[in-house]
């Protein structure tokens, strides 16, 4: 199988023929994740929150965030309909996997990798309220604020970012690129030459 990912240097990569350049490096990401972790540890003092990761993109952020919490906490997952292989949203949100945990009376923290149009983050709390949690908060690593079309309740935001396509640290382009420890943005200077 031909490789999708070409690492050029510290700053640029090619993924599925598109050139990307570094946007947030792993150190910046880790520092911010730990800041949020400290804040959540303070805010949930004496409580035992359950973190609900939204698959697939949130798995890496969720993992690092959870490791930074200094308290008892639990984890579960839900999965919504995917955007598929392309760079734009379909505009339709469906639940593909429900949470397994009993969330009644629990302190629920929804964990997202990115809020784009906001449709997913608008849908999830509505769904969660059906379970009657004791409290409900949201955290997202990235908020593409210029693209957000609906009111979304965001309690913790890692980075507010401009309206550009990003990949890495859990975020994909056609299911590849999630393993990158840094986050890259699409380079507006266009597509690369095919790999030799
Ligand atoms: C991405 C991301 C969020 C959602 C945000 O998921 O993980 O869940 O899109 O977009 P929105 O604000 O426009 O709703 P995606 O459906 O691409 O699936 P993935 O997490 O498996 O990559």
Model pLDDT for residues 42-73, shown as the tens digit of each residue: 999 999 999 999 999 999 999 999 999 999 99
Q: Would you please indicate which residues are annotated as catalytic (active-site) residues? A: 116
Ligand 1 atom with minimal separation from the 119 CA: 14
Model pLDDT for residues 117-172, shown as the tens digit of each residue: 999 999 998 888 999 999 999 999 999 999 999 999 899 999 999 999 999 999 99
φ/ψ of residue 189, rounded to 5 = -75, 5
User: How many other C-beta atoms lie within 10 A of the C-beta of residue 102?
Assistant: 10
Cα 177 to ligand 1 centre (Å): 14
Do residues 36 and 64 lie in contact, with contact meaning Cβ atoms separated by under 8 Å? no
- pTM for this predicted structure: 0.91
The angle that helices 26-43 and 59-68 make with each other, rounded to 10 degrees, is: 60
Do residues 182 and 11 lie in contact, with contact meaning Cβ atoms separated by under 8 Å? no
Q: Is the pLDDT of residue 83 over 60?
A: no
Average pLDDT, the chain: 90
Q: Using CA positions, which residue lies closest to atom 16 of ligand 1?
A: 82
Ligand 1 atom with minimal separation from the 89 CA: 13
Q: Give the residue among 165, 161, 149, 77 at the shortest CA–CA distance from 117.
A: 149
pLDDT at 173: 95
Cα 45 to ligand 1 centre (Å): 30
pLDDT at 107: 98
Q: Using CA positions, which residue lies closest to atom 2 of ligand 1?
A: 114
Distance CA 35, CA 111 (A): 15
Residue to substitute in 57, 90, 142 for testing ligand 1 pocket (most ligand atoms within 8 angstroms of CB): 57
Do residues 134 and 105 lie in contact, with contact meaning Cβ atoms separated by under 8 Å? yes
Q: Where are the alpha helices (DSSP H) in the chain?
A: 26-43, 59-68, 119-129
Sheet with 107-115, side-by-side order of all strands:
95-97, 74-80, 50-55, 107-115, 135-143, 156-160
* Ligand 1 site residues, Cβ closer than 6 angstroms: 54, 56-57, 80, 82-83, 89, 112-121, 172
Residue to substitute in 53, 94, 116, 123 for testing ligand 1 pocket (most ligand atoms within 8 angstroms of CB): 116
């Amino acid at each position: 199988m031909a490789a999708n990912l070409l690492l050029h240097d510290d700053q640029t990569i090619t993924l599925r023929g598109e050139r990307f350049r570094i946007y947030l490096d792993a150190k910046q990401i880790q520092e911010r994740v730990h800041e949020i972790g400290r804040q959540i540890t303070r805010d949930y003092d004496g409580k035992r929150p359950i973190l609900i990761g939204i698959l697939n993109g949130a798995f890496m952020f969720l993992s690092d965030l959870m490791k930074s919490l200094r308290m008892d906490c639990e984890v579960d997952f839900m999965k919504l309909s995917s955007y598929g292989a392309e760079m734009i949203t379909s505009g339709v949100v469906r639940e593909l996997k429900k949470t397994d945990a009993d969330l009644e009376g629990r302190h629920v923290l929804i964990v997202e990798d990115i809020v784009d149009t906001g449709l997913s983050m608008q849908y999830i709390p509505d769904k969660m309220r059906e379970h009657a949690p004791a409290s409900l908060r949201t955290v997202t690593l990235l908020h593409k604020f210029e693209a957000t079309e609906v009111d979304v309740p965001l309690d913790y935001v890692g980075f507010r970012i401009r309206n550009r396509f990003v990949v890495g640290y859990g975020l994909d382009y056609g299911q590849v690129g999630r393993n990158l420890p840094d986050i890259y943005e699409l380079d507006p200077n266009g597509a690369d030459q095919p790999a030799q």
